[in-house]
A and B are shown apart, each in its own frame.
Chain A
Amino acid sequence: MRRVLWIPFVLLGACHAHMTAAQSGKQQAQMEKPPDTKQVQSARPVRTTPGGMLDPQAMKQIQAKLSHKGYQAPASGQLDEETQAAIRKFQAHEHIAATGLPDFDTLRRLDLDPHKIYLGGTKRQDQKHNEAKR
């Protein structure tokens, strides 16, 4: 009896440690990002972060192209650290500025059209849809 008595305590401790770690991970992710700011409206849309200019679908397309070219990028739909590292490797291989951020020239070299990918681009599906609505 005495031998099994410690098991619930160990399980409880493990649970608490797991929850604390998860909570601190979330807290850290929340903390380590630029402060939220109000978006501004403009004819050529401007946003504070790459995530604002590229929706998850567009990011997935970039990640798929990177993976296709042999640069490992997770299909997360986010510009996470792994994706930035993959973009940087690709840019270095192409002898262009290795910023790790998907600029227009990088997209063209990945056989993607920035006008279809970036927010505001004239060839985006949602743009055409909005124009048709108008």
Chain B
Amino acid sequence: MAFRKRWLFLWIPLGIVGLILLALLFINPIVAYGTQTGLDRLKGTSGSFHGLHVTIIHPGYNLYGLKVVEMPASEHKEPIFYADRIEMRWSWREIFKGHLVRRVKIWNPKVVIPMRPGENGKPAQPPLEIARTLESVPSAGLERLEIVGGQITLVDEHHEGQRVWLHDVNATLENLKTRKKTMEGLPVLVTVRGKLQKTGELTLFLTADPFDKGLTFAGSAELRHLALADLHQFTKIKGLELPDGSIDMFASITCKRGTLTGGIKPILKNVKVTAADNKLGDKIKAVLADAAVKLFSDRVPGRNAVATIIPIHGDLKKPDVQLLPTVLAVLRNAFVEGLSSSLTNVPPTVGKGGFFHQARKALSKKSEKPIEAEPNK
């Protein structure tokens, strides 16, 4: 009897060690299978990865070379998402406390968003499947999400070659917890820095309270020194070019329980308008537009800046509205509006109605029409 007991004492620990070894041996293929199955479930896309590594002592998961391609493959044939490495980390201490919070870090992600023409003449929108896929990624329980060296390209499939390129993106999202108490009085914090096209420097600061009764957040974004020449694909309209000058844009928004207010201030600096072709009509248009820029500038020595504040108002009270996609869509709408508004109001022949109509509009005391904040409009 004593002999049997002695053997049991030996076999039980040996069995446990054996199980742990087996788990260590097979955990990588098991998790890889689970990840591939998860990727296969994403609608409208096909996903693959180069490798995967799971760690147990410091609980973590590393995914290498993740690639997601839109299905059926679109014309531009670029993956809609690629990342060199995605690292997820948990802490045993937090797990034992019952908090499943993660730290996620993504190295060099590249996102291509094909913008398709909206229905009934609405502006271009990303495909619905991609938006739904992004929304399905669980975002709760995040201690920190970090992006290093990211790139986002918006490709307008309707207009060949029109691309908005945001690169060198470093971004963080912190404190997105699942329980009020664990937030310890601090809001969700989002910080972003990146480069828009070749010259524009973009920074974003956002704070949000996910436990308020409605969508509640406040934030600001700044875009500085974006050379208008970088936007030649958008500004070369009706025979005009903007070879010199730059644009700065400053936006701030607050949202209390779904009611959104704010403003965007685009500032055009040292703008010079020239004719794209050698035609006489284009040259006359360019001279008039250039004169208008000088007429409306603030005449600060060494700088001819043209500024206006466009108010933002909106209602985000839909019950299924999500914080981050909504905020980003609002900011995108605001920046697009700020850019198009400044280019439409200042160099008059670019916009509707010709020189005198635009001059009258710019001098009118009527306030600007507020931007539609709803991302789906």
Our verdict on whether A and B bind, yes or no, reads yes
User: Which residues from chain A sit less than 8 Å from chain B, CB to CB?
Assistant: 20-21, 24, 27-28, 31-50, 52-53, 88, 91, 96-101, 103-105, 114-115, 118, 120-122, 127
**Cβ contacts under 8 Å, B203 to chain A:** 99-101
With beta carbons under 8 angstroms apart, the residue of A37, A46, A53, A99 that contacts B252 is: A37
With beta carbons under 8 angstroms apart, the residue of B189, B205, B267 that contacts A31 is: B267
Chain B residues touching A, range: 35 or more
A115–B193 Cα distance when bound, in Å, is 24
Interchain nearest-CB distance for A54 vs B (Å): 11
Q: Which residue of A lies closest to B310 (CB)?
A: A35
Q: Is B359 an interface residue (CB 8 A)?
A: no
Interchain nearest-CB distance for A12 vs B (Å): 17
Stretch at the interface among B117-125, B140-148, B228-236: B140-148
**Cβ contacts under 8 Å, B224 to chain A:** 32
Interchain nearest-CB distance for B219 vs A (Å): 6
Stretch at the interface among B33-41, B58-66, B166-174, B350-358: B166-174
Known: A34-B222, A35-B263. A122 touches B147 (CB 8 A): no
User: Which of A46, A103, A115: most chain B CB closer than 10 A?
Assistant: A46
Q: List 14 A-B contacts (CB under 8 A).
A: A31-B267, A32-B250, A34-B252, A40-B254, A42-B187, A42-B256, A45-B187, A45-B209, A47-B218, A48-B205, A97-B148, A99-B171, A99-B191, A105-B174
**Cβ contacts under 8 Å, B219 to chain A:** 48
Q: Is B208 an interface residue (CB 8 A)?
A: yes
Q: Which residue of B lies closest to A91 (CB)?
A: B170
**Contact call A43/B300, Cβ cutoff below 8 A:** no
Q: Which residue of A lies closest to B300 (CB)?
A: A24
**Cβ contacts under 8 Å, A105 to chain B:** 144, 146, 172, 174
